[in-house]
Structure formats: C-alpha cells, structure tokens
Structure 1
Amino acid sequence: MFVFSSDQFAEAQKAHFANLFALTNTAFDGFQKLAELNLQAVKSNLAESQENVQAALSGGDLKDVFSAQGKFAQPAADKALAYARHVYEIASATQAELTKTVEAQYEQHNRSVQTFVDTFVKNAPAGSEALTALLQQTVAAANNTYESVQKASKQAAETVKSNIEASTAAATGAVQQSARRAVKA
C-alpha cells in the first residue's frame, strides 16, 4: 500500500510555500507598478496644473481664460484614458502571472493526485474495484470541473477586456466632442 512519508510531506510543504511566495511576490510587483504609476501621474498632474494655471492667468480677458480652459480639456481626458489603460494593463499582466502560477501549481498537484490514484489502484486489494472506480471517476470529475471553471474565467476576462475597450472608445469620442464644444464656446 502507498504510504505518505515524512520526506514527501516535507517536499510538499516546501512546494506549497514556494508557490505562496511566488504568488505574494507577483501580487506585490503588481502593487508596486500601480504605486509607481500613481506617483508618476500625480507628479505629472502637478506640473501640468501649474502650467495650465499660469497660461489661464496670463490671458488678457475672460474670453482668453475660457479659451485656455477649452484647450486643456482634450489633453486631460486623453491622459485620464491613458492612465486607465495603464492600470488595466498592470492589472491584466498581474492577473495573467497569478493565473500562470496557480495553473502550474494545479498541474503539479494534479500529477501528484494521479500518481497516488494510480498507485492506490495498482495496490488495491481484491474486491475493491468499486472503490477504485469511484476514486478514478472523482478525480476525472474534479479535472473536468477545473477545466470548465478555467474556460469560464478566460471568457469572462475576454468579455471584461472587450467592454473596457468599448468604454474607452466611447469615452474618447465623448471627450473629443466636449473638447470641440469647449473650444467653440
């Protein structure tokens, strides 16, 4: 009969901790990229705000001030959309890396379970055919469920991506239209 040794247990624990640290590092890298993006955005906004205020205040009359504001609307909207795209790219890349790590961990776990089941079936006593068949069916059902969930997750991610792209396109059109109206006014 198959016996789970202390060495195998220790190796399994090491693998689990290595995977935990890999996931943690990936999540932290994503967080760090978002923090860097936010710091860059704040720094850029401060500099641009200063320039915009100076440009608006240097106008000779009220019409010049409103004209200057209209010129700032489109670039600001474009930068906001670019920021949103960067956030989405960072989140997507982090999610993809996390998914890759989890899938690798699942595949390793699945191989271990399959090895255990194969060893169990090979060494099972006579008369336990029903139990071994049930064990094999359970493993197959779990694998099918995982594959279904994985496919549904990928479809959901693609739907979110296409919705974000459609929203970005719509927002870009609306901002451009508003900027044209502001310049005309």
Structure 2
Amino acid sequence: MFTIPEQFSNVAKTNLEAQLSLLTNLTSKAFESMEKVVDLNLNVAKASLEDSSIAARQLLSAKDPQEFFSLTAAQAQPTAAKAIAYGRHLAGIATSVQAELTRTAEEQIAETGRKFSALVDDVSKSAPAGSENVIAMFKSAIGNANAGYEQFSRTTKQAVEVMEANMNSAVSQFSQATEKTASRARK
C-alpha cells in the first residue's frame, strides 16, 4: 500500500507528464495551423502576382479612357471575390484550429480531473479519522474547478461563434458593396 506522500508524488508526476503532453499537442496543432496559413498566403501571393500581371497588360492595352475604366471595373469584381474567398478560408483554418485545440484541452483536463478525483478517493479510504472535512474540501475544489472550466469552455465557444457570424456578415457586406461599385462602374 502506498503512503499518502507517495500517492501525491505519483499524481504530481503523472500530472506533469500530462501537462507536457498537452503542451506538445497544442504546440503541434499551432504549427500545423501556421503551416496552413503560410501555404494559403503563398498560394494567394502567387495567384495575385499572376493576376496583377495580366491586369496590368490589359490596362496598358486600353485604347481610350472609357476602355481603361471599363477594364478597371471588370477587374474589381473578381478581385473582391478572391479577397472574400481568402477571408473565408482563413476563418475556416482559425475555426478548425480553435476546435481542435479546445477538444485536445478538454480531453486532457477531463483525464487529469479523473485521475485527481481517483487519488482523492484513494486517499480518503486510508485517511485518518477526522480528515473528512479536508477531503470534502478537495472534492469541492475539484468540482468548482471543473465547473469553472466548463463555463470558460462555453464562453470561448460562444465567442468563436460570434466571431464567425461577424466575419460572415462583414464578408457579405463587402461582397454587396463590391457588386454595387462594379455595377456603377459599368454604367
């Protein structure tokens, strides 16, 4: 049978290992997301360079100011559509990373909480008489910590949902403004 200090030492060691594992997983996910953002930006930069070159050649070939302005207006719509697509893709990366980080953290915290609860239960079985209040305090602290984390998790998810809704609204408004501007320029 383990003594109480040995049990706490084992739990502390296990908890440290779990925290290192969580940190490693979160760091890995963060690097994966950065790779996606870098890839997206490189692809957008290449496409933008090609599009700019084509657009410049078209504008330089304009025979009169009317044709120049007509070409400029015609190029505005596809450029805006690409900007909108970029924003959506970037938001998609951010959303998926946030979901993955949240899931990983929730799993780790739940596992750590489960192990700590098991330790408290084990310790309470072999605890000396009169320590019930201390054990109850530990259990209460665990319950409060779990409730606080659950509230934090819900609040974070709500904030992400609001951010996504705001992003979609901004993209929609930008798209409508671009369409109006392009239609005015054609007239």
- TM-score, length basis structure 2: 0.91
Tell me which amino acid in the other structure corresponds to 1:38. N
Q: How do 1:21-60 and structure 2 match up within 5 A?
A: 21-60=24-63
Q: Which runs of 5+ in 2 are unaligned?
A: none
CA drift of 1:17 comes to 2.7
Secondary structure, aligned partner of 2:7: coil
Q: How do 1:59-138 and structure 2 match up within 5 A?
A: 59-138=62-141
Secondary structure, aligned partner of 1:4: helix
1:9 and 1:121 mapped to 2: Cα distance?
17
Q: Which runs of 5+ in 1 are unaligned?
A: none
Aligned residues: 184
CA RMSD of aligned residues (A): 1.7
Secondary structure, aligned partner of 2:99: helix
CA drift of 1:11 comes to 4.7
Decide whether aligned partners of structure 1 residues 9 and 137 sit closer, same or farther in structure 2, where only a CA change above 3 A counts. Answer: closer
Q: How do 1:152-167 and structure 2 match up within 5 A?
A: 152-167=155-170
2:80 and 2:95 mapped to 1: Cα distance?
22
Report the equivalent of 2:21: 18
- Find out whether 1:149 has 2:152 as its counterpart: yes
- TM-score, length basis structure 1: 0.92
